[in-house]
Chains A and B, each alone.
Chain A
Amino acid sequence: GENVEQHPSTLSVQEGDSAVIKCTYSDSASNYFPWYKQELGKRPQLIIDIRSNVGEKKDQRIAVTLNKTAKHFSLHITETQPEDSAVYFCAATLLNNDMRFGAGTRLTVKP
């Protein structure tokens, strides 16, 4: 079936460094790719998203890039801060309104 793979599963960086999380998807018809941040015991919250007609989108320290040909997209966080520590999920929509999520990346930012 359709799926989304996410790497790495855990990522540890020093405060101020950059973090990159990568996802690949299998459904070539997918056209919407959101990223969610989930803090411990909390609900997932949308931090950035990208549509298939755009190659890159940036919002302050967060950016997402999309390569539709290769079917992969990435989340980039620059100047990381301890409050960026959380689990990050990528997702991709399917034609039938379904949304598939990656397994998540646990990011730890060390002060």
Chain B
Amino acid sequence: NAGVTQTPKFQVLKTGQSMTLQCAQDMNHEYMSWYRQDPGMGLRLIHYSVGAGITDQGEVPNGYNVSRSTTEDFPLRLLSAAPSQTSVYFCASRVGGPMAEQFFGPGTRLTVL
């Protein structure tokens, strides 16, 4: 199993550009989520999904969109990139409810100029 994979590993955008961060998992996990990690602030939940076709907002959803058309994939879209979105983005998945172990992807380092 590849586990949780993310692409790209690094990305540089200009303010106003849009892009999609890809996340995939091959563990048949129902729950997937996106976090951003900023220095001194830990990880903050952006959006999450409890299954295909179901998404919900986390702590910091503004400026991001998600969709979940399949169990395996959970892309994160930046609609109009801003310098405040410069961060490391982690995708994660778990098999079921909130007490299941969460597995993280390798991360995407995004810089917005």
Contact = CB atoms under 8 A, between A and B. Distances in A.
Interface residues of A, number: 26
Please indicate which of the listed interface residues A9, A42, A89, A103 has the most CB atoms of chain B within 10 Å of its own CB. A103
Contacts of B99: 31-32, 49, 51, 93
The B contact surface, by secondary structure, is: loop
Contact of B107 (A4, A31, A43, A96): A43
Nearest to A51: B99
A97 B90 contact: no
Contacts of A42: 106
A1 B42 CA distance: 16
A99 B50 contact: no
A101 interface: yes
A12 interface: no
Contact of A97 (B35, B42, B98, B105): B98
A46 interface: yes
Interface string A29-63: 00110100000001111100101000000000000
Contacts of A101: 35, 42-44
17 contacts: A32-B99, A43-B90, A43-B106, A51-B99, A89-B43, A91-B43, A93-B98, A97-B50, A97-B97, A98-B48, A99-B33, A99-B45, A100-B45, A101-B44, A103-B40, A103-B41, A103-B42
